[in-house]
């Protein structure tokens, strides 16, 4: 004979039982992966102002620079 009135505690117990077993062996709270680390923001570049060289008519290549 089946019961017409179903008790809510028994199905709830059997649904939560596997979760309780997992928590017994793994601990509480359940170990989960940490959220992914955020990437550092990209550094902003600054405009470098060129110094004006006195006495030169044009740009001097680095390999032909006058000795110091």
The per-residue pLDDT string of the chain (68 residues; one tens digit each, 9 = 90 and over) reads 555 677 777 888 889 999 888 888 887 777 788 888 888 877 888 888 887 767 656 666 666 556 66
**Spatial contact of 30 and 23, defined as CB atoms under 8 Å apart:** yes
* pLDDT reported for residue 17: 92
- Give a yes or no: residue 44 inside a domain: no
* pLDDT reported for residue 42: 79
Which token pair is 55? Answer: 């006495």
CA atoms within 13 A on the CB side of 58: 2
The separation between the first and the last C-alpha atoms of the chain, rounded to the nearest angstrom, is: 108
Range of the domain at 16: 7-31
- Give a yes or no: residue 24 inside a domain: yes
Which token pair is 25? Answer: 């062996």
- Give a yes or no: residue 22 inside a domain: yes
* pLDDT reported for residue 11: 83
- Give a yes or no: residue 20 inside a domain: yes
- Give a yes or no: residue 63 inside a domain: no
Provide the domain count of the chain. 1
**Spatial contact of 30 and 22, defined as CB atoms under 8 Å apart:** yes
- Give a yes or no: residue 54 inside a domain: no
- Give a yes or no: residue 19 inside a domain: yes
- Give a yes or no: residue 15 inside a domain: yes
């Amino acid at each position: 004979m089946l019961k017409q009135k179903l008790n809510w505690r028994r199905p709830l117990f059997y649904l939560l039982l596997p979760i309780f077993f997992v928590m017994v062996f793994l601990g509480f709270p359940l170990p989960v992966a940490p959220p992914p680390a955020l990437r550092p923001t990209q550094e902003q570049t600054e405009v470098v102002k060129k110094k004006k060289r006195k006495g030169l008519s044009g740009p001097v290549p680095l390999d032909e620079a006058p000795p110091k």
